[in-house]
Amino acid sequence: MAPDHRRLAHEGTRGFGVGTGSSPRRGPGRRRGRRPPGGLIVIVVVTALVGGLLGMAISMGWIGPAGRALGRFLDFYCGVFALVTLSLTVMIGLAATDRRILAPGHRVHAQSIHRALAFVAISMLAAHLATQLARHRVGVVEAFVPFSASVTYGLGTVAFYLLVVAIASGIARGRFALTGRPWVWRLLHLTAYVAWPMGIWHGLSAGREAAPFVKVAYALCLAAVTLALIARPFLRPRTGRAS
């Protein structure tokens, strides 16, 4: 049926598309161009670098008194923003798999929001890492080699690497789908679910004592993602696709 072909061809087979991981189908006589994943990889790398350099410049006070005040703000809140954004990324990604409530067009919009939040999350993480390095709270080895200093810092490092894997797999999803091995993409992209609780543990146990409102924010994120995971099986149709 023509509408079904359009839906299957349309749903996130490129970039960070989030769905059930099924292989894409193309309607007869239709060819769809795809943006090369390399371009998205460059965007992610540049975004992370800009976030890191900006965080370091602000933290070191290289852009004046206002920058120093902003640096103190980022030093205190960047990690919180990163974790909250990562939680929203996971929740929107789960919502994008819904086939009962959301129309195909709405799922595509949810995927776009999911991608944008992922970019924000990686930028906040890069800025958080840069501010900690700039203020000499951690060394280069401790920041990039997991568990070289402590378990709590190691969890943050591993969470960062797993998030990079999740983002990279999202960029290359179309390639996995076309090779007929969507399960590989699904497995790699699920690393975000591992990175997320590690990030929460790191945020609550590393460095200074978390403020009460931070603990409340983390608890709300934990509850929201848990509810989204519980609801996910009920958001999928129980019957198979019509042929």
At residue 150, φ and ψ (nearest 5 deg) are -155, 170
3-state secondary structure of 226: helix
Task: Please name which of 21, 15, 77 lies closest in space to residue 44, comparing C-alpha atoms.
Answer: 15
For residue 16, tell me if it sits in a domain: no
Q: Give pLDDT, residue 57.
A: 65
For residue 43, tell me if it sits in a domain: yes
Angle at 226 between CA 224 and CA 232, to 5 degrees: 100
For residue 47, tell me if it sits in a domain: yes
Give the amino acid at 74: L
Contact 113, 90 (CB under 8 A): no
pLDDT greater than 60 at residue 31: no
For residue 22, tell me if it sits in a domain: no
For residue 29, tell me if it sits in a domain: no
For residue 85, tell me if it sits in a domain: yes
Cα–Cα distances in angstroms (integers) from residue 110 to residues 11, 91, 104, 190, 211, in the given order: 11, 10, 10, 18, 32
For residue 7, tell me if it sits in a domain: no
pLDDT digits (tens, 9 = 90+) for 193-224: 888 889 888 888 887 777 788 788 888 888 88
Angle at 241 between CA 240 and CA 243, to 5 degrees: 120
CA-CA distance, 188 to 161, in Å (whole number)? 12
Q: What range does the domain containing 134 cover?
A: 38-235
pLDDT greater than 60 at residue 186: yes
pLDDT digits (tens, 9 = 90+) for 125-179: 888 888 888 777 888 898 889 998 889 899 999 999 998 888 888 888 777 767 7
Can you read off the two tokens belonging to residue 79? 């990690």
- State the total domains in the chain: 1
Contact 125, 82 (CB under 8 A): yes
Q: Is the pTM for the entire model greater than 0.75?
A: no
What is the residue whose two structure tokens read 């990889």?
Answer: 41
For residue 119, tell me if it sits in a domain: yes
